[in-house]
Every structure is written in C-alpha cells, then in structure tokens.
Amino acid sequence: MYAQHTTPQAPRIRVRYGAGCQPGGLPAAPLASAAAGYASGPAAVLRARDPAALHTLAGATMGTTWSVRLANPGFAPLEPVQAAVQQALDTVVQQMSHWEADSEISRFNRAEAGAWQVISPEFMEVMACALHWSRASQGAWDPTVGPLVDAWGFGPRANPLADHRAQLPHPQLLQAARARVGFERLQLSPAERRVLQPGGAQLDLSGIAKGFGVDLVARTLQRLGFGHFLVEVGGELRASGQRPDGQPWRVQIAGVADGARQPPRAAPRVLPLRDRAVATSGDHWHAFDLGGRRYSHTLDPRTGEPVLHRLSSVTVLHAECMQADALATVLTVLGPHEGLAFAQRQGIAALLCEHTDAGLVVHTSAAFEQLDLPARVV
C-alpha cells in the first residue's frame, strides 16, 4: 500500500506472562489476524500444554502496533528480547520512513540531482526487492511513487490521525507529480551500497518496509536463539516453527465489505502458517468518497490515479514477509483479473477478494490452492 502513518508516541509496552497471555485475534489487520497458538524455544524441552511458557511482547512502530507470540520454556529474561525487537523496528523507521525528516530515505528525497547516497544494508536489500518487482510488474509497483502519494493527500501531514481532506489534486499538480515518478530513473550500486538521486525522485517504501520489519524481527529472534514464534506488525505476519502440539500457527483471513470499519461478511478462512509469512493489502482503511466515487489510497503509478477496480483485499503468502508485502501491493494495483494472471505466471500464492454487484467474489491462484490448506472456517 502506498501510504503510511508516522510513528506516534509509543504507548507503554505490554509484556504478559503465563496463562494471561493466551493469544487471541491481533489488532490492526483489515483481513489477517493471528489466532491462538503456541511455539517452543529451540533448545528447550517442549511443554506442549503449559501456557506459562508462551509469552507475548508488544509495542508500537510505524504508526501501528507490533506483537510477538514467543515460546520461552526456559523462561529466559524477556526484557532483552523486547529491547532487541524494538531496536530492529526502530532501525527500519530510521532508514525507510519518509515520515521521519532525518531518516535515510528522507535525506535521499532531499538530495540534489546527481548525488550518490550511501545507504544501509537493510535499505539496499529493500530497494533491490522493490526494483525487482517494479520491473516484473512493468511499473505497477514503483518505489518513486512518493510525489503522487503527496499529491493525493496520502503522504506525511501534520496530524497523521486526521481524516483525509477529501479533495482532488489540481490537474497541473498531478501532472508535475507524474513527471517525477519512474523507477527506471533510479540507479543502484549494490557493491558500494549507493543509490543515485536523478533529480526530484521521492522514494516511498510504505508498500514493503513494514513487511521487511517483520522479517528483521524474525531474524532478531532467531539470532537470540528462538525458533518458534509468530511475529505481527500492523497486520503483516510471519511464523517460524510450530506450536508445541505439533500443529502450525493459524492465521485467519476473510473478505471485508465496502465501507471503512465494517466487519467481515464473508466466511473467514483459517490458514496454517509454518515458516511462512502472510501480508494483506486493502482499501477499506485509507480511502475517501467524493462525488459518488470512492478514491482508494492504492495508487497506480502508471496512471497517477487511485485504482478503479473493486478489489477489497489481496492476501499473499511467501517465505519472506517483505516479498509478500510488495506482492500484495503489486496485485492490488493490477486488479482482480490482471493481478490473478500475474500471480499465476509468477507462481505467487494469492487470494484476491473482489466486490461485484452479485456480492463478494474470491479469486485464488494455483499456488494458493496447492498449499494444502484446510477448508474449514471458524
């Protein structure tokens, strides 16, 4: 999704222990939420039905919340884990948040034409992924979409929690913004970790940075010796290992009706998640209505305007959340039919929910159907 809120003042961190940390549905996700499950530490003897071994860490980042469901049978101190997870997410913000004036991405966006900027390894990893899918999708994904995001009023603003101004951009402003968009103008030097500012380029990695944050947290937990956990950042999730009873972690997804903040109307589906990530993109949280038309925050860089199709959401499963996040954006821009065709060609496990006059229609790719998912609902 090509919009992201700045990180607010972090609330008090909640660290819960024992039976009180039974995981229910996670907040913030329009279509995906973590369901109950357990995980186990890599070097400990599994205690399959001991709820005291399951701990929950939580905090704030990127204008949303994060949480970790972590098995800790050895009852290792959680304060260092909490700090390491928060530091990993703070790293993503410091490098890739265009809402932060002193971030690496903001400094690049202000750089003079012809300037080469050295960027951090994580930033380079995300840029390489973004440009890969930009080329593969022929511009449906474009990390230089920032000027369009601002023109349509979805970019950084003084009060990120305020409602959208519900105004259309002036045609001349929109034309000028479109002239600055184009991933082909970027040049990367991976060996030197440098990126060239061609002049007026404004990066916006909102459709991929959050997913990368999930991956970075997963790497952090693995580095600390944990092998069984469920990470969630603003609705994007990644699972590692399994529950102590041998079952995978479970994630619930469902279609969402038109109109913001309405509950799901389609029967939810439970996905088993083991060593896999899931990301969802949708228009039901960031959009505005004007003149009888709904304007989604999902912008098509090729046209410079919000998408016109009626996709409600796209859910993608992948080994990496960064990839799933980017692909969910690509498919959302492409729409139900072109997006499904793209998923089929690329072997992407995707579920697309489309609103039609006859009701909600769900499209699934062959790779999604081959995941051997349970058909039951909850």
pLDDT of 247 over the 80 cut: no
Domain of residue 166: give its range: 105-197
pLDDT at 272: 86
DSSP 256: B
Most confident by average pLDDT, 27-41, 107-121, 288-302, 309-323: 107-121
Nearest to 160 by CA among 313, 354, 4: 4
Higher-confidence residue: 268 or 77? 77
Cα separation, 215 vs 219, in Å, equals 6
Contact 34, 237 (CB under 8 A): yes
pLDDT at 306: 84
Q: 172 in a domain, yes or no?
A: yes
Higher-confidence residue: 83 or 290? 83
Q: 299 in a domain, yes or no?
A: no
Nearest to 142 by CA among 300, 290, 282: 300
Nearest to 1 by CA among 259, 301, 320: 301
Please state the three-class secondary structure of 141-194 as a single string. Answer: CCCCCHHHHHHCCCCCCCCCCCCCCCCCCCHHHHHHHHHCCCHHHCEEECCCCE
pLDDT tens digit string along 17-38? Answer: 222 222 333 333 333 333 223 2
Q: 176 in a domain, yes or no?
A: yes
Tell me the DSSP string of 24-81. Answer: -PPSS-SSEEE-S-----TTS---TT-GGGEEEEEEEETTEEEEEEEE-TT---SHHH
Nearest to 316 by CA among 227, 235, 230, 218: 235
Q: What is the mean pLDDT of residues 178-185?
A: 92
Q: 287 in a domain, yes or no?
A: no
pLDDT at 295: 61
Q: 57 in a domain, yes or no?
A: no
Q: What is the CATH number of the domain that holds 113?
A: 1.10.3980.10
Cα separation, 336 vs 362, in Å, equals 9
Q: 156 in a domain, yes or no?
A: yes
Of the ranges 38-42, 164-168, 240-244, which one carries the lowest mean pLDDT score? 38-42
pLDDT at 256: 41
Q: 335 in a domain, yes or no?
A: no
Q: 139 in a domain, yes or no?
A: yes
Domain count, the chain: 1
pLDDT at 165: 62
pLDDT at 7: 37
Cα separation, 61 vs 41, in Å, equals 25
Kindly report the pTM of this predicted structure.
Answer: 0.80
Q: What is the mean pLDDT of residues 139-162?
A: 76
Let me know how long the chain is.
378
